[in-house]
Amino acid sequence: MTTAQLARLTLDEAAAYAPGDPDREWRVRAAWKLQQIADGIPCSEWTPPPAWFGPGYQKEAA
């Protein structure tokens, strides 16, 4: 399983929880970090997840 696939799986898990639920929030934050790893962003440049990032997010295939 690739890092991008793991990010997608984590977002899919987050969808089972209501917005604002702590279980959803940590999964969305973890998925964002995984997506930044998959995109090759150095950890010193990681950002918090943007408002548009969540269970409905679909990364376009490169």
The one-digit pLDDT tens for each residue of the chain (62 residues) are: 999 999 999 999 999 999 999 999 999 999 999 999 999 999 999 999 998 888 877 665 44
Contacts (Cβ under 8 Å, ≥6 apart) of 62: none
Phi, psi for residue 7 in degrees, rounded to 5: -60, -45
| Residue 19 belongs to domain spanning | 3-45
Domain-located, residue 28 = yes
Please tell me the distance from the alpha carbon of residue 30 to that of residue 24, in angstroms, as a whole number: 10
- Residue 59 domain-assigned? no
pTM of the predicted model as reported, rounded to 2 decimal places: 0.85
pLDDT confidence of residue 60: 57
Number of compact structural domains in the chain = 1
Residue holding tokens 């409905």? 56
For residue 50, being part of any structural domain is answered with no
Examine residue 38 and state whether it is found in any structural domain, yes or no: yes
Q: Residue 38: phi, psi to the nearest 5?
A: -60, -35
Residue 34 maps to a domain:
yes
Q: Is residue 11 part of a domain?
A: yes
| Residue 30 covered by a domain | yes
